[in-house]
Chain A
Amino acid sequence: MSSEHGHDAHELSFLRKYVFSVDHKTIGLQYLITSFVFLLVGFGLMMLMRWQLAFPGRAIPLIGPMFSPDLAPNGVMSGEFYNALGAMHGTIMIFLGVVPLGVAAFGNYIVPLQIGAPDMAFPRLNMMSYWLYLPAGTLMLLSFFLPGGAAQSGWTSYPPLSVINPGQTVWLLAMVLLITSSLLGAINFLVTTINMRAPGLSLMRLPVFVWSEMVASVILLLAFPPLEAAAVLQLMDRVAHTSFYMPKDLVILGQRYTGSGGGQPLLWQHLFWFLAHPEVYVLVLPAMGIVSEIIANNTRKPLHGYKTIVYSMLGVGVMSFLVWAHHMFISGMTPALSNFFLVTTMIISVPSVAILTCLIFSLQGGSIRYNVPMLFALAFLPLFGIGGLTGLPLGLTVTDIYLHDTYYVIGHFHFVVVTGSIIALFAGVYHWFPKWFGRKMNDRLGVIHFWGSVVSMVGIFTPMLVMGLAGASRRLYDPTAQAHNLIVQPLNVVSTYFAAALGVFQLPFIWNFFHSMFRGEKTPENPWQATTLEWACPSPPPHGNFAKTPRVYRGPYEYSTPGRATDFWPQTDPS
């Protein structure tokens, strides 16, 4: 363990303490706030799209006239603007919202505490990660205001379209910055967890959340570089007019493409999905980790099948690298490979189901405390289950031919990411809020936020599944342009109303968060009577976290051990 970041008690300037901080806790909160802001921005973009989908051709209410005439003539959204919104919504939500929130925000704050470390292994590198992430995100947002506008080729940025479309260069630059930031973060997490665990904290005594962060970091470490390289190649195609992804004899709007040709558009899809599928597990694994922590704590019993969960997470991590081309079944890929990826896709569902099953069994026989984090964690189980199960038909080539590129796909992955990851991340916020600020979030507002959010989310995404089964394409700017969509068009309106409701129900959360930061009910050091190490230091922890390096004597979830006076047995308790 390095001695560089010991106990420097001297006062730091405001800038060093809150802005360019090297403390993992401050950086974690910086990530938390920033990624929530990006989630809100991504949500805003989506609301604009939802208006267009529900009421195509009608002027956007209130803010419509504020857009420039190129984007929205007379307040009616243009097709190009819709495309830009779609691309940016996906990019922002995934790369700037959920991943930084799950991996970087919670990981930074909680992982060093849960392993009993004074800080991350490389505090300055940690600061650099954040200060690459913020400019990358800002650049991504600014691209709306640059000449050429924002990216319009979807978050997947498929060539040849993405090489031809305007606005993509800035997207690629921002992605390269963002990937670098994630790589530094992943290295930091891995070194920290491998080298800086408190004495006695063997790997099989690690909380599940730490395991999930470790697996997510391995995925980021090994899956992101291919996208970085692929992004550089696409950048070369755009800037230096190479033809990595541009085939020969391409005709664009009646014009022959002037580059040398000879490239392979499908190569990009391979390289992109080599990252982007594992990325789904980066979105989901920390969520599973958070839910495991909360369920064990609130059922007051050990997790059912700790080892099964850990090995399943490792299995998911490895398998996640071998399923990418199930996104490409109808792209013109070699059909023989489709069979391979069909099989691996079915295999990867096994460990995911194992984890979920263990979590459900953990509830059995517990005397459950229904506090706000637990409500969110309980909602995660069935809703994430729906997300996972709706994915199976997409992993089977035969059904995917019909469902590919329909709203069914959108419904599926939003069930996974929104009612899965984001719900779990909310649970984490409520659970660890007392750790961050020494105060508790208001329960009543929390319950309102919970029911409002869950009902709205299901209300948004269930209609999408139905529309997709009816054959509605996900790419349409005006769904009424195809006659067969007219039957399900009312569902688009339903979906939009629920989306608006989801926005409204975030207001109590936002207010609750900032109000409780300063005015919330004060909590004791270990308000949830939890066993893991992060509750064995003051809340919020001082610089350096633990007054003296903790010693660990047992596994992470020793609840309701027979013959003990209290129903929890902290990992640090020597008795």
Chain B
Amino acid sequence: MNATAIENPDTHSGISNAKLGVWLFLASEVMLFATLFTTYIVLRLSATSWPWGWDALNVPLATLNTVILISSSVTIVMAYARAYDRDVRGFRLWMALTLALSFGFLIVKAFEYGHEFSMGIGPSTSVFYAVYFTMTGLHGIHIIGGIIVNSALLYMSFVKEDWENPLFLGRVEGAGLYWHFVDIVWIFLFPALYLL
């Protein structure tokens, strides 16, 4: 190969490491939840009966939770918009709101679980409840993970050098991506378990 013919190929994708890492992680999460949905479909197809969500679960509470989670997706993207404009007070407000909504989601979920347990219903009751508890449980763990990340970002906004770090906005965006993904999972879980 002769030296003058050397092109200068772009060896950087133009996507920051953090964002690319989060998206790759989300790709693996797609596979994780795809597996759970596979389990759901296979078990449902082979089941002799499959209860209707309105009879077996608490749909109004789940609808409330859907609204809560959708709202939290908006508040976190608003927090991102505030961080983009370097408005630290606005960022803290929207991030705190996001966290409040996430805790709200978990509290509602706890009510739901508590009610079911008090009626003697648990994961071992039937395949339907096994799927329900496992999928919502894993989703709940993802919510808790998101709360940890978002709290860390809220805390960092109070530390001057973190807030002024040029990587901060990328971190907020990455946390947002994760949070929206958790929202999307719920968007599918909600009809699959409660409505159909």
Contacts and interface: CB of A to CB of B under 8 A. Distances in A.
Asked if chains A and B are in direct contact (CB within 8 A), the reply is: yes
Interface of A: 1-2, 121-122, 125, 183, 186-188, 190-191, 194-203, 221-226, 228-230, 232-233, 236, 240-244, 259-264, 267, 271, 553-555, 558, 574-575
Contacts of B127: 242-244, 260-263
Give me the 4 closest cross-chain CB pairs, A-B, nearest first. Answer: A202-B9, A242-B130, A225-B32, A229-B35
A491 B12 CA distance: 56
B36 A221 contact: no
Contacts of B47: 262
8 contacts: A187-B24, A200-B9, A228-B32, A242-B130, A244-B130, A260-B124, A260-B130, A262-B47
Interface of B: 1, 3, 6-9, 11-13, 15, 17, 20-21, 24-25, 27-29, 31-36, 38-39, 42-43, 46-48, 122-127, 130-131, 133-134, 138, 167
Given A222-B31, A236-B123, A121 B21 contact: yes
A216 B60 CA distance: 45
A122 B21 CA distance: 9
Contacts of A553: 1, 3, 6
A191 B15 CA distance: 10
Contact of B17 (A195, A203, A230): A195
Given A187-B28, A223-B31, A244-B131, 6 more contacts: A195-B13, A201-B11, A222-B31, A240-B122, A262-B48, A264-B46
Contacts of B3: 553, 574-575
Contacts, number: 137
Given A243-B130, A553-B3, A122 B17 contact: yes
B24 A200 contact: no
Contacts of B126: 260, 262
A439 B131 CA distance: 57
Contacts of B1: 553-555, 558
B123 A240 contact: yes
B124 A221 contact: no
Contacts of A183: 25, 28
Contacts of B125: 260
Given A197-B11, A201-B11, A264-B43, A241 B31 contact: no
Contacts of B9: 200-203
A200 B43 contact: no
Contact of B28 (A191, A224, A244): A224
A240 B124 contact: yes
A200 to B, nearest CB: 7
Contacts of B7: 202
B24 A191 contact: yes
Contacts of B15: 195
B120 to A, nearest CB: 13
A191 B21 contact: yes
B128 to A, nearest CB: 9
Nearest to A223: B31
Contacts of A222: 27-28, 31
Contacts of A230: 35
Given A200-B11, A242-B123, A574-B3, A226 B35 contact: yes
A244 B130 CA distance: 7
A195 B124 contact: no
A440 B38 CA distance: 52
Contacts of B35: 225-226, 229-230, 271
Contact of B43 (A186, A228, A262): A262
Nearest to B11: A197
